[in-house]
A and B are shown apart, each in its own frame.
Chain A
Amino acid sequence: MAFSFTGILAVFLELARGALIPAAVLLLAALGVAIYLILRRQQFNAGPAVKLAGAIGIILALLAFALTPGFSGASHAQVTSVIDYTALTGASLGFGIGSAVVLYPFLQLIFRRADA
């Protein structure tokens, strides 16, 4: 049975239905911070924020990799095939990258130059 792109999106939206409003608030807040920083036209010292966001993303990805089988009611011993590891790795990376991207504007706000 073929699944269309919109069908898959509909499934993910149903999966996240309970968390959509908090997620939207978080994303809007991140966008708001980003727009604020852009409009202020201040200097950016992006290095520390990027590094910290990246580090947090990596840590969260590793945690996701370690904990996801348990959250699913399974154990790592049951993650055995290539597709199992591909799915686990992909989901963990996605979670880590997503977290880093969302965190980045807030970290950039914290790390903006003192003289900005």
Chain B
Amino acid sequence: MSHRSDSRHGSINPGRRRFLQATGATGVLAAAGAVTGSHMLYSSNVRAQPSNARIVIVGAGAAGLSLASRLARELDGARITIVDPREEHYYQPGLTLVATGAWDAERVIDRNARYIPRGVDWVRSAVVEYDPDNDRVVTDGGDTLEYDYLLVATGLQVNFDAIEGMEPGLIGQEGIACVYDNPDHAGRSWRMIREFTDSGGIGLFTRAPGAIKCAGAPLKVTMLSEHRLRRQGNRNAAELHYFQPGDSLFSQPDMDEFLKRHFPDERDINVNWQHQLKAIEPGARQAVFSTDNGERTVDYDFIHVVPPMSAPDPVRNSELAWADGPFAGWLEVDRHTMQHRRYPNVFGVGDVVGTPIGKTAASVKAQVPVAVDNLLAVMQEREPAASYNGYTSCPLITEQGRGILVEFDYDLNMVPSFDFIDPYKEQWVPWVMKDRMLHAAYNAMLRGRI
């Protein structure tokens, strides 16, 4: 009697049973993954809200694309227009890694076309004028776009000319680096950081006053440069100075306390308080700082320049901006609802808004669902009820391979997403998240999935 005859009669021997169990489990997992995965990749909302509203989104950065993706799914029939001249999309949270040699610049360059949802019109122009009293914006092409609802998600502008003698073309020359704005700057900064960390010398690391995007970036560039000096065996050949316009290194107090110890005690980085970069003399490799005691000129071999930042001029010069107060010039929104405080059909998200903290991609992730929910509420003549709590996050990379995942809110309380990750300890896991996971999370956010 062969085993084959047993099989014909339907009996299953132990080996086959194990095989069936294994393949069955694989099949169920694969099927579940395929069904859920296809839903996550391509889906439409059968409960979309009917609307014929004209919605204009200004900006196709992280905030603009996320808004467009969510609104395209939540609304049926609305005419959604996104206005931005840029074809390329930059993953800006990766710029510190490009500038310090951990990533190639190509890794942060993407195309906006990949993320603009079907059915959304894309006007490849820049908005040069906001006319909220007449519900319209004017583009640099001379077109006027009328809207029922406006979402301002322009990001911010980096004001290189606020530093005397500084202009973007200097990045990558005469020891000058600047991680901000685009992968080209970050790539040229890496050449300067590599040169400095290969040879040593005097390194200056600056930070602009006021609100800047990714306020952790100047700290990360400093610490990653210091780490590379150690890895190159050149730490003793270099002097590192950090220049802070105020008297704290980080807005979250626990992290501020940590860094105030960490910089001088563990990294031998000299912190200079109340120093604001005023001018730079590239030929002489000198930097001039405004201090409480007047001007101070410092020689350098390498300098990381962080220029002041502001809302883009068309926003800053419009009726939409705060006229005065601590957020003067930034978009005047309610810090919780993201709705404009004077124009209820206008909302704002991302770096452009005048709120106490949160010019990060993580803030965008938290703000976008709130802005969308509240916009939908307003469209249905309901009160906006969704509330943004100021959530922001900074994977504070302390060296290549380790970091601290810092997450906090308007009250500056730590609000960790994952309780098991200690927000007070340098670990490898936050580095892996920064290096591998957060870009994927960012792309999922652009598609309105998270």
- List A residues at the B interface (Cβ < 8 Å): 1-4, 6-7, 9-15, 17, 20, 24, 27-28, 30-31, 34-35, 37-38, 41-47, 50, 69, 72-75, 78-81, 83-84, 87-88, 101-102, 104-105, 108, 113, 115-116
Contacts and interface: CB of A to CB of B under 8 A. Distances in A.
Given A38-B19, A74-B432, 10 more contacts: A11-B444, A14-B441, A38-B23, A43-B16, A69-B428, A75-B401, A78-B428, A83-B421, A105-B23, A115-B3
Contacts of B16: 43-44, 46
A7 B435 CA distance: 19
A46 B440 CA distance: 39
B425 interface: yes
A29 B422 CA distance: 42
Contacts of A12: 440
A40 B19 CA distance: 13
15 contacts: A3-B417, A10-B40, A10-B444, A15-B436, A31-B23, A38-B23, A43-B4, A44-B13, A45-B15, A69-B401, A72-B436, A78-B399, A78-B431, A87-B429, A116-B4
Interface of B: 2-4, 6-8, 13-16, 18-20, 22-23, 25-27, 30, 34, 36-37, 40-41, 102, 362, 365-366, 391, 393, 399-402, 407, 415, 417, 420-422, 425, 427-429, 431-432, 435-437, 440-441, 443-444, 447, 449-450
A44 B19 contact: yes
> Interface majority SS on A: helix, strand, loop or mixed?
helix
A27 B30 contact: yes
A24 B18 contact: no
> Interface majority SS on B: helix, strand, loop or mixed?
helix
Contacts of A11: 437, 440-441, 444, 449-450
Contacts of A108: 19
Contacts of A7: 444, 449-450
B395 to A, nearest CB: 13
B436 A30 contact: no
Contact of A84 (B6, B19, B427): B427
B436 A3 contact: no
Nearest to A4: B450
Contact of B417 (A2, A9, A42, A104): A2
A90 to B, nearest CB: 11
Contacts of A116: 4
Given A6-B40, A7-B444, A74-B400, A1 B365 contact: yes
A10 B401 contact: no
B397 to A, nearest CB: 11
Nearest to A85: B428
A45 B16 CA distance: 8
A75 B425 CA distance: 17
Nearest to A33: B23
A13 B366 CA distance: 20
Contact of B431 (A15, A72, A104, A105): A72
Nearest to B3: A43
Contact of B420 (A1, A30, A83): A83
Given A79-B428, A101-B26, A72 B19 contact: no
A43 B5 CA distance: 9
Given A31-B26, A73-B400, A87 B441 contact: no
Contacts of A10: 40, 444, 447, 449-450
A30 B391 CA distance: 44
Contacts of A72: 401, 428, 431-432, 435-436
Contact of A13 (B23, B26, B40): B40
Contacts of A80: 427-428
Contacts of A78: 399, 401-402, 428, 431
Contacts of B6: 43
Contact of B428 (A4, A13, A35, A81): A81
Given A41-B7, A43-B3, A69-B401, A13 B450 contact: no
A14 B440 CA distance: 5
Contact of A34 (B15, B23, B400): B23
